[in-house]
Amino acid sequence: MKNILLFITPAIIWGSTWLAIKFQVGSVDPVVSVSYRFLIAGTILLIYCKFRGLSLAFSKREHGFIFLQGLLIFGFNYVLVYTAELTLTSGIVGLIFSTLVFLNIINSRIFLKIPFEPKVLAGGILGLVGMGFVFRQDLVNFSFSDGKIIGLFFALGGAFVASLGNITSARNQSMGIPVVTSNAVGMTYGALAMLLFALLTGREISYEFTSSYTFSLIYLSIFGSVFAFGAYLTLIGKIGASRAGYATLISPIIALILSTIFEDYRWTLFGVVGAILILGGNTLVLQIRKKKALIMEERFVDTK
């Protein structure tokens, strides 16, 4: 039950963040918006750790891996995603980002020596086929003109960087680094790194003083970052990056439900079939026994 709750939380929250991100792109540079988001989230978590008396003392080696986690998950990952949404619809970006499930499987095999699991692969294939049905119209109308090919590569790059970040998080948890404290320090590292990157590359440090930008920033910082990432990275430590990454296949469906309510999105037969395929693939993946999921810890390559 706890794993189910950990799975549902990021899936639902991130399903709504695709829409919220739309209010973050435009007048403010994506690198700067990402820095704002995780600086707020990191500060909140640091205060929480201080209040709870959680130790933030890490060795230089541990700080190095936490910095890497922050740079990948809370930095360049979202810079690439935000940039992709400048030229692509949020649905297309969500669909492309769902390739994370396969990238997690591949990178888990390369870096964590975890063998491929047929049920995970089958579930991922069902999910991706389902996503194709759901976003059939977007795919039919997709064009490589008007800079969209660049957006495509940015979205794929974001998924790949996120996958590497997931593997790094799995490594950190296996070495006994708590999720909450690693997120607190990692988000702060990621935010400061993006701010430094913005300064070094001559990007304008600005802020959009509108209610839509401010409220979406707060929502993305607190719910999309603090709560969702806490649940997701904890789930990685429990069931592995391959299965946890499947939450990214559910998020676009949540986004469509919200579009149905708030943006008058109209479901089609293809959309219904796609949703069934995704849920079917999800059920298949979650049927894997918990004992088998623990292989991540048993076969982890010791980097000490």
Q: pTM for the whole thing?
A: 0.81
Tokens at 276, concatenated:
């069934």
**pLDDT at residue 201 greater than cutoff 60:** yes
Rounded to 5°, angle at Cα 126 from 135 and 288: 140
DSSP codes joined into one string, 37-90: HHHHHHHHHHHHHHHHT------HHHHHHHHHHHHIIIIIHHHHHHHHTTTS-H
Gap between the Cα atoms of 169 and 228, Å rounded:
14
Reported confidence tier of residue 81, pLDDT bands at 50, 70, 90? very high
pLDDT digits (tens, 9 = 90+) for 19-71: 899 899 888 999 999 999 999 999 999 999 999 999 999 999 999 999 999 99
Do residues 285 and 138 touch, judged by C-beta distance below 8 A?
Answer: no
pLDDT computed for residue 297 by the predictor: 39
pLDDT over 90 percentage in the chain:
37
Residue at token pair 């709870």: 52
Gap between the Cα atoms of 122 and 118, Å rounded:
6
pLDDT computed for residue 43 by the predictor: 96
Do residues 125 and 36 touch, judged by C-beta distance below 8 A?
Answer: no
Gap between the Cα atoms of 91 and 37, Å rounded:
22
Rounded to an integer, the average pLDDT of 253-263 is 78
pLDDT digits (tens, 9 = 90+) for 272-290: 898 888 878 777 765 654 4
Tokens at 211, concatenated:
């209610």
pLDDT computed for residue 242 by the predictor: 62
Gap between the Cα atoms of 168 and 68, Å rounded:
7
Q: Which of the residue ranges 81-90, 111-120, 124-133 would you say has the lowest mean pLDDT?
A: 111-120
pLDDT digits (tens, 9 = 90+) for 144-167: 766 777 888 899 999 999 999 989
Do residues 220 and 16 touch, judged by C-beta distance below 8 A?
Answer: no
pLDDT computed for residue 219 by the predictor: 95
Tokens at 230, concatenated:
């806490």
Rounded to 5°, angle at Cα 169 from 163 and 175: 145
pLDDT computed for residue 136 by the predictor: 81
Gap between the Cα atoms of 266 and 88, Å rounded:
20
Rounded to an integer, the average pLDDT of 103-121 is 77
* Long-range Cβ pairs for the range 203-206 (8 Å, 24+): 203/29, 203/31, 203/32, 204/29, 204/32, 205/32, 206/27, 206/28, 206/29, 206/32
Tokens at 84, concatenated:
């992709």
pLDDT computed for residue 245 by the predictor: 67
| Structural domain spans, the chain | 2-298
Do residues 226 and 265 touch, judged by C-beta distance below 8 A?
Answer: no
Interior/surface letters 235-248, b for 16+ CB within 10 angstroms, e for the rest: bbbbbbbbbbbbbb
Do residues 244 and 232 touch, judged by C-beta distance below 8 A?
Answer: yes
Q: What share of the chain is helix, strand, coil (3-state, %, to 5)?
A: 75, 0, 25
**Chain Cα centroid distance, residue 3:** 17
Rounded to an integer, the average pLDDT of 9-16 is 88
**pLDDT at residue 291 greater than cutoff 70:** no
Residue 44 exposed, middle or buried by CB count within 10 Å (0-12, 13-18, 19+):
middle
pLDDT digits (tens, 9 = 90+) for 204-246: 999 999 999 999 999 999 999 888 888 887 887 787 766 776 7
